[in-house]
Amino acid sequence: MSAPGGLAMSIQETAPAAGASLRRLLAEALAMPDAAAIAAPFLTDLTARERGVRAVLLYGSALWRSVRGDNSQPDFIVVTDRVSGWRGRRADRLFEGVLPPTVYRLSADREVAKICVVTATQLRAQTSAEASDLHLAGRLCKRVALVWCRDGEAQAGIVDAQQSALQTVGRLALSRFRQDVGLDDFVKVLLGLSYESEIRIVEPHKITALFEAERDHYRAVGRALLETLGARPLDGAAERFQLPPDADLQAWRSTAERLLRRSRRRALLRWPKYLATYDGWLDYLLLKLERSGSPVVLTANQRRHPFLLAAPVLYRLIRAKRVH
């Protein structure tokens, strides 16, 4: 199957040296000093034998002191053999193949985490050039920590998925440039595409904060990725790059916009699934609003009937551009 709009086919073949460099950087970056302590309260439950788990990734704001807030909750991507092994509920079986991942709430030692469960097959598909949307690919373009894996094959699968996600989203990021490409600008566009593809609560300066927290990592990965995609450095410091010589920018932009629109439609379609699988979704939403600087206090009646009575609150937030 070809990539949407033929995007991947219009880019030069991956340069072997650049691809190897990118893969090495990603493999080394999976180890993060604070990640084990953050994940520790949840790992026993996450890795129970009956769940068929292959790997557990920690991602999101909780990884960095400079980014996480006082009430930030850990976010995990759990790669499994099958989603139905997670809880064995009817909803698990019903939603397993629909709009992955499947999202759950997990409590441990009075702490709470959000768990995104995805099969290894789904992870490969949704980080590839044939991905249906950017939900998983966008998340794996950011730095993540591998806090547990079943074996070396599982670890290699995570690196494969990250490399594929970066190449997929990297092509879309290049479509935003008209001539040469600044390294830092490219990385920020790359990070930003993940947020553009979602309907989410606006968190001002989030992209800049993520970039600054891992500047050296993102710049090293950005250089290797640009070369993998066929771009060539224009200076000795590799701060600016020439677009791939066969780049069809108009076609790339058209493909990128179509995929972003489809990603946002699919993000909206995920909401009913989240309501069915994620216990405590309303409290999670209120915490996100508080962290973004737009706290909302609901009355008891609004909490009992959020779809009916809290809808005007959401409408005001959209009008104020706090949700997009």
On whether the CB atoms of residues 3 and 9 are closer than 8 A, the answer is: yes
Percent of the chain with pLDDT over 70: 75
Report which listed range, 138-142, 300-304, 319-323, is most confident: 138-142
- The pLDDT, as a whole number, for residue 7 is 39
Q: What is the pLDDT of residues 219-250, one digit of tens each?
A: 999 999 999 999 999 999 999 999 988 777 78
Torsion angle (degrees, nearest 10) of CA 32, 68, 87, 201: -130
- The pLDDT, as a whole number, for residue 13 is 41
Q: What is the pLDDT of residues 147-172, one digit of tens each?
A: 999 999 999 999 999 999 999 999 99
Global pTM value: 0.84
- Strand ranges in 227-291 using DSSP code E only, listed in sequence order: 232-233, 240-242
CATH no. of 4-279? 3.30.460.10
Report which listed range, 148-157, 190-199, 251-260, is most confident: 148-157
217 pLDDT band, cuts 50/70/90, is very high
Sheet holding 111-119, edge to edge: 102-108, 111-119, 75-80, 53-59, 145-149
> Residue 15 pLDDT > 70, yes or no?
no
Please state, rounded to an integer, the average pLDDT across all residues of the chain: 83
